[in-house]
Amino acid sequence: DVKVTQSSRYLVKRTGEKVFLECVQDMDHENMFWYRQDPGLGLRLIYFSYDVKMKEKGDIPEGYSVSREKKERFSLILESASTNQTSMYLCASSFAGGFSYNSPLHFGNGTRLTVT
């Protein structure tokens, strides 16, 4: 089974801090994604990456950046945390080989971030 591991389940940070959320997958997937989940809004894509050192903005990239130095690891960075970034953050990965439009996403268990 694919395992996507997010380093923290719960995180509390102060406004203005630089925050790192880490995600590691063990199935050699090319694609990796960061979503945030808020009640009533569903999942919104922040950034994604389809290869090492490659990244693309999703729908809500403002205030975030990402890093993918190794294929298995995809980091989300909050440059200066703000209270409106309090949310559940979900990492996901998927296979990109061949015709991959139907490759399902495999999700981690999420990191609930609170910014005070």
Partner 1 sequence: AQSVTQLGSHVSVSEGALVLLRCNYSSSVPPYLFWYVQYPNQGLQLLLKYTSAATLVKGINGFEAEFKKSETSFHLTKPSAHMSDAAEYFCAVSSTDRGSTLGRLYFGRGTQLTVWP
Residue count, binding to partner 1 (CB under 8 A):
28
What tokens were used for 24? 């590691």
Comparing CB distances to partner 1, the nearer of 91 and 115 is: 91
Single residue of 63, 71, 73, 107 touching partner 1 by CB under 8 A: 107
Nearer to partner 1, 35 or 74 (CB): 35
Q: Is 33 in the site for partner 1 (CB under 8 A)?
A: yes
Contact between 100 and partner 1 per CB under 8 A: yes
Q: Helix (H, G, I), strand (E, B), or coil: what is residue 102? A: helix
Residues 106, 94: contact at Cβ < 8 Å? Answer: yes
The region of 13-21, 67-75, 79-87, 104-112 touching partner 1 under the rule CB under 8 A is 104-112
Write the CB contacts of 98 (distance below 8 Å, at least 6 apart in sequence).
none
Residue in 115, 66, 67 with CA at minimum distance from that of residue 88 = 115
With vertex at residue 58, the alpha carbon angle to CA 34 and CA 113, rounded to the nearest 5 degrees, is 35
Burial class (CB in 10 A: 0-12, 13-18, 19+), 65: middle
Q: Indicate whether 97 belongs to the interface with partner 1 (CB under 8 A).
A: no
Between 63 and 92, how does the x/- string for binding to partner 1 read (CB under 8 A)? ---------------------------x-x
Interacting residues toward partner 1 by CB under 8 A: 4, 31, 33, 35, 40-43, 45, 48, 50, 56, 58, 90, 92, 94, 96, 100-110
